[in-house]
Structure 1
Amino acid sequence: MIDHKSTQRQVDIKIKKQEERWWDRLTLQEKKPLFLGPDFDRWLDESDAEMELQTKEEKINKISVESRIRKDPYVGLKRGYLFVYNLVQFLGFSWIFVNMTVRLFILGQDSFYDTFHTMADMMYFCQMMAVFEVINPLLGLVKTGFVPAMIQVSGRNVILFVIFGILEEMQNKPVVFFVFYLWSTIEIFRYPFYMLACIGTDWELLTWLRYSLWIPLYPLGVIAEAVALVQSLPIFDETRLFSLPLPAVLGHSLSFSYILQLYLVIMFLGLFFNFRHLSKQRRRRYRSRKRKIH
């Protein structure tokens, strides 16, 4: 069967094969006429045809599998909730970071001593919101592990609400500045990354910052938290705040500082656990990106 169409520039001829087989050449004679040329947009050799067939089969299989999987009717609502949550946290930590940076440039070291009184309200809000990061994995809204989220959120809340929030003697110390600044620096890159992930967008620079900045900042943040905790120990010993009553034979009470010393050890164990978890995430992320490139 032959179909042809003539134009001012050329004559297009479509020839349908009687038998499904590969042709060695277009004409009976070995040398192709100069005026005759194949349409390379439609040209296939055997390897191309195999790849095309394999792609079609994969598409069919994918459609078949997807048709059997029940689609989540609330997926849009879940993504909307996660996007708004990450946006709110990004705005909150950005406010803290920008204000602390401006105050540092204007006031210099004097800004170290009133960080808590100027930033505490917003930090309280952000850290109370962070409790949702423990709840979200339990509800299956995110793939992040429950344990790493629990370690980070509970660790920060102990420092913020117990060490800084209750002890007035700690609120004017420079360590508050370093803890708040390190926390906010990490989060102003983490939350936008999750926001873009909610809408299926990947910004290469932001991805690199999210998976690289934590390497120096996360251990520095834990060290700053540890310094704050150590500085609070003599205050708890002196005030006997949160001390546990004991039988008269054993003594009057057990200082809360002993519990904090135990927590200090747990905190560095948590650093090791979370550091290993984040390292695996980083390797897995860049391994998958390399596969996509290849």
Structure 2
Amino acid sequence: MQSQSRSLTPHVHWAQRHSELYLRVELSDVQSPEITITDNVLHFKAQGHGAKGDNVYEFQLAFLEPVMPRLVYKVTQRQLNITVQKKESTWWERLTKQERRPLFLAPDFDRWLDESDAEMELKAKEEEERINKIRIESRVPKDHSFYDTFHTIADMMYFCQTLAFIEILNSLVGIVRSPLVPSLLQVLGRNFVLFIVLGNVEEMQSKAVVFFVFYCWSIIELFRYPFYMLSCIDIEWKLLTWIRYTIWIPLYPLGALAEGKLQKHSLVDHAALYRDERVIHTLVSMVGIEKPENNWFKIN
């Protein structure tokens, strides 16, 4: 074995991309590698089998531009690969600060690209990442529906809840066996939430609780209206009857809780809503009475 006092340098091949540097050290059976970056200088020392046999090899490289102090290296049976991150994503005209290239350093033609080719590779990589991101986002369900519910289906809810006033008429003429007072309270309560609270306060429309209010309303009516329809023609479907008289047990309290949360937000954050003349006029019109002169029902 040769004397350890003599400094031996391995063959090093390098290549670059806009954000990274790649160094390939031609040493096999590498043991105890010591690789650090200090003051923008790469320090390498390792035991391995190189051009001068099994020895300790070392070298230093002062980089042309600033690099990140932390590096990544990988030891294989035939070589040692080092990856260094540039501080700025730029293209270097050379690797080292000194203009004259060290004798042990050479381009890595297996990975070598000129600047234009590297830019094309970078654009292709960015495009691939963008496509992969779109694919992942398309597979992962978003929670936007919780906040965009009102803007998505408001027109349909306005239409359906306006038609719901027919329920009161149906109770009056006896088409359905539903009591008049509960039907009146339910229709007026829902329309108050929809037309007054949500329709007049834009900030309330993007609340996540709107989704749960509309969800509870819709699930309840999904079984209630078919039940009434079959009852009008004297047909009883026992499964539907059981669902109709069972599903309200959890859904009505949940719906009332969601409606209460909406109205709580409107009272706390938008108390002026209940002092608005237009809102009072709408409320009076809904219940079919004339507005009192003394405005006794206003919130002061």
What TM-score does the superposition give when structure 1 sets the normalisation length? Answer: 0.46
Structure with the bigger percentage of helix: 1
Greater relative CO, 1 or 2 (CA 8 Å, sep 6+): 1
What TM-score does the superposition give when structure 2 sets the normalisation length? Answer: 0.45
Structure with the bigger percentage of strand: 2
